[in-house]
A and B are shown apart, each in its own frame.
Chain A
Amino acid sequence: MSDGAALLGPALGLSAILFSLGVAGVLLRRNAIVLFMCIELMLNAVNLSFVALAQLHGAGGYVMVFFVMTVAAAEAAVGLAIILAIFRHKQSVDLQNINLLRG
C-alpha cells in the first residue's frame, strides 16, 4: 500500500469541505462572476475525490479529471460570454437584476 493511500479519507473529507464551501458561495453571492468561480470550486472538489480514489482503482480516475477540466474550460468560456452579453444589455451582473424569465 503506497503512502498516498493512507490519505484517502482525509482527501475525501477535504473534498467535502471544499464542495460545501462552493455550494455556500453559490447561495450567498449575487455577483454572477463570483458565482461562476464558486462552481469552479465545486468542480475542483470533485476532481480531488477522483484523484484520491484513482490511487486505488487505477488511472481511469485521472482520465475523468481530464474530462472534468475540459468541461470546466468550455463552461467558463460560454458562461463568461453569456455574462458579457447580459452586462451589455443590463449594465449589471447582479443576479437580482436578471429576472427576465420571471413570470
Chain B
Amino acid sequence: MTQTVFYLFAAFAVVSASLCILQRNPVSAALWLVSTMFSLAAIYVLLGAQFIAAIQVLVYAGAIMVLFLFVIMLLNLGHASSDFRGPSVVAGTLVIGGLLLVELFALWRYSPNRLAAEVAQSPAYNDPALLFAAGELSRQEAAGRGVVGAVAAPLFQTYLVPFEITSILLLVAIIGAVVLAKRSI
C-alpha cells in the first residue's frame, strides 16, 4: 500500500517537474513547481517526516513560490516568448543530463542492507539494524515525544550554534534584499 502511494506521488512529482522546465509561460512553470513540492510533501509523510512535510508546504509552496509569482507578475512576464536555448545547447543538455541521471540512478539500487555493507565494509556490521540503530532510536523518541519534539531536540541541542547562525543569515538576506530592491541603485 505504502509502495503504491509512493510510486503514484513519485510519478506525479516527475511529470510536474518536467512540465515545470518545459513550460514557456513562467506562471505555469511556477504552478507546476508548486505541484512538485506538494507531491514531495506527500512523499515526506510516507517516509515518516510529518513535520518536514508541513514546513515544506508552508515555507516552499506557501512563501517562496508566492514570492516567485509576485516577481513574475510585477515584471509582467506572463506572456513571454520562447526562451529555450538553441539546438546545440539542447543536445549538450541531453548528454550532460543523461550522464548525471545514469550516475545518480545507481542510488535506486540502495537498500539498507547494501548501504550497511558498503559503509561499514565489515561483516560485523552487516546487520543494518545494528548500524542504523540511530534511526531506530529517533523513531522511538518520535513515538514518545511526538514528531515535532523529535526534530526539536537535535535542533536546539546538537545543532544549536548553526541554528543561531541561521538567524544572522536571514538578517543579511533581509538587508540585502531591501538594499538591492531600492530604486536609487
Residues of A within 8 A of B (CB): 1-25, 27-31, 33-34, 36-38, 40-41, 44, 47-49, 51-52, 54-60, 62-63, 65-67, 69-78, 80-85, 87-88, 93-94
| A20-B100, A20-B101, A37-B29 known; A10+B10 contact, CB < 8 A | yes
Q: Which 5 A-B pairs have the closest CB atoms?
A: A16-B104, A13-B108, A25-B21, A74-B173, A58-B134
- CB < 8 Å neighbour of A8 from B2, B29, B111: B111
CB of B172 within 8 A of CB of A37, answer no
Q: How far is the CB of A14 from chain B (nearest CB, A)?
A: 5
B122 at the interface (CB under 8 A from A): no
A38 to B109, CA, bound (A): 26
| A18-B14, A44-B40, A66-B155 known; A93+B77 contact, CB < 8 A | yes
Q: How far is the CB of B73 from chain A (nearest CB, A)?
A: 11
CB of A28 within 8 A of CB of B89, answer yes
CB of B29 within 8 A of CB of A16, answer no
Interface of B is mostly: helix
Interface size class of B (residues with CB under 8 A): 35 or more
Measured between beta carbons, the chain A residues less than 8 angstroms from B170 are 70, 73-74
CB of B77 within 8 A of CB of A71, answer no
CB of A34 within 8 A of CB of B173, answer no
Measured between beta carbons, the chain B residues less than 8 angstroms from A11 are 6, 43, 47
A85 to B142, CA, bound (A): 46
Of B47, B59, B150, most A-chain CB atoms within 10 Å = B47
- CB < 8 Å neighbour of A4 from B13, B48, B132: B48
CB of A82 within 8 A of CB of B180, answer yes
Q: How far is the CB of B169 from chain A (nearest CB, A)?
A: 6
CB of A24 within 8 A of CB of B97, answer yes
Measured between beta carbons, the chain B residues less than 8 angstroms from A70 are 166, 169-170
| A13-B108, A37-B68, A85-B180 known; A58+B14 contact, CB < 8 A | no
Measured between beta carbons, the chain A residues less than 8 angstroms from B80 are 31
CB of A13 within 8 A of CB of B107, answer yes
A57 to B133, CA, bound (A): 8
